[in-house]
Amino acid sequence: MAPHDIRRPFKRAAISDQQKRRELSLLRQAQNRRDAQQQARCLASSILSLQSAAPESQPEQSDIELETVPEAEQESEAFSKDLDVRQASKLRGPEVRKWFARQLMLPEWMIDVPDRLAQDWYVFARPAGKRCFVVSSNGTTVSRQRNGSILHHFPSALPAGAKIRDGSGSAQSYCILDCIFHELDQTYYVIDMVCWNGYSLYDCTAEFRFYWLNSKLEESGACNAPSHYHKFRFSAVPVYNCDQSGLHAAYTGVVPYAKDGLLFYNKHALYQTGNTPLALVWKDENCSQFVIDTDGKGEIPSQQQVVLELQDDRKLVTSDDPPVLFGCLDGDIIEKSGLHTGNLLRFAIGDGGLSFVDGKLEKADLIYLGKSNRARAFADSYSKGFQLKSL
């Protein structure tokens, strides 16, 4: 019998479902481009009356049990889509934290190698520092961190970013940049461009956004040294095609900032708020000093932790779209702690760790610690749980 006749067919087990979700995200963004354009229009004109958030409750402790993953419901994004970013800059308290935290595009952990990595992806070294939005409008510039708190209020060379002699620009002239503020050299490193001079880039691919970022930022003078009308320097990060030479340059190349891992962006991805598999982060001890979680003092806790969202029927889910079910919380703990649907809860990973089969969560040893920090607006992604498994 010929050798090929006796060979048994073999299919490698899936490492994860991340590739499937990448394909789904690309398909959905193509279908929702009209919604993205509506979001861009709302960004410049909408006003929304807000209500105060409910007070936080005290934490308790418990164990959880795992269930089969169901089809999850999608959370309404009306709050984030309908509010003008310039109006949001004036918000205070819980409302501003919720709004701004939901505007950033957040990467998943890289847990498998994307198809067509060399052709369809960029890679760059992520600067260590404070992730923030920088908004310039009406002659001033404000940077806000992920929790909505103001980092700096300053004049800048960005369009409409400073009050100068020839005016501060029209009311429709404003910019929104996705940045990381690097303390050591007091520089805003721009990793993405959301709006420029009143023109929205939400509906543009990463390939186009990065092209505009590099050309427009340099033309504006924002990359110049600080001056009276330009308090902080801005700088684009070096971005490479994700082939062998680009990966080597991003991983080993010298940059003017401390590295905090590598970021991978799909060239066809629109700017999608929240967690997305079209942006990925990779960390190891050679390209980041923050490979695993640390506490407020920068120390590694005895147990790694994960944050999950409490939904109806005691379900605990990730921030993915659709969410991934990790388990259920005991009803007595929910009642005693005064927990409600939508609360973000922190769990320690016990000695049993997390177990995955064919890329899907099989079981987890999770210990309930209490509510998450109020500054958070999202649960962790499923990919973080997969990354913690490998530690």
Assess whether 246 and 141 both reside in one domain.
yes
The reply to whether 173 and 99 lie within a common domain is yes
Same domain as 270, residue 183: yes
Please count the structural domains in the chain. Answer: 2
Strand, helix or coil at 312? helix
In this prediction, residues 304-331 reach a mean pLDDT of 87
Instruction: Flag whether 57 is in a domain.
Output: no
> In what helix (H) or strand (E) does residue 117 lie, and over which residues does it extend?
helix 117-120
Residue finishing a domain among 282, 317, 335: 282
Question: Rounded to two decimals, what is the model's pTM?
Answer: 0.76
Domain that holds residue 110: 35-47+85-282
Angstrom CA distances, 365 to 64, 66, 144, 292, stand at 8, 9, 36, 18
- Of 68-82, 258-272, 307-321, give the range with the top mean pLDDT: 258-272
pLDDT in tens, 314-326: 999 988 877 888 8
Rounded mean pLDDT, 229-239: 96
As a whole number of angstroms, the distance between CA 342 and CA 308 comes to 10
Instruction: Report the C-alpha gap between 187 and 232 in whole angstroms.
Output: 6
244 in the same domain as 101: yes
Q: Among 304, 389, 302, which Cα is nearest to 346's? A: 304
Q: Supply the pLDDT for residue 293.
A: 63
CATH number, domain containing residue 144: 3.30.470.30
Residue length of the chain: 391
Peptide bond just before 322 cis, omega within 30 deg: yes
Inter-residue contact 191 to 279 (CB < 8 Å): no
Between the alpha carbon of residue 154 and those of residues 87, 128, 241, the distances in Å are 18, 22, 34
Which stretch, 72-76, 215-219, 319-323, has highest mean pLDDT? 215-219
What is the CB-side half-sphere exposure of residue 204 using CA atoms within 13 A?
A: 17
Shared domain for 250 and 351, answered yes or no, is no
For the chain, give the mean pLDDT.
77
Look up residue 31 and give its DSSP letter.
Answer: H
> Are 223 and 356 found together in one domain?
no
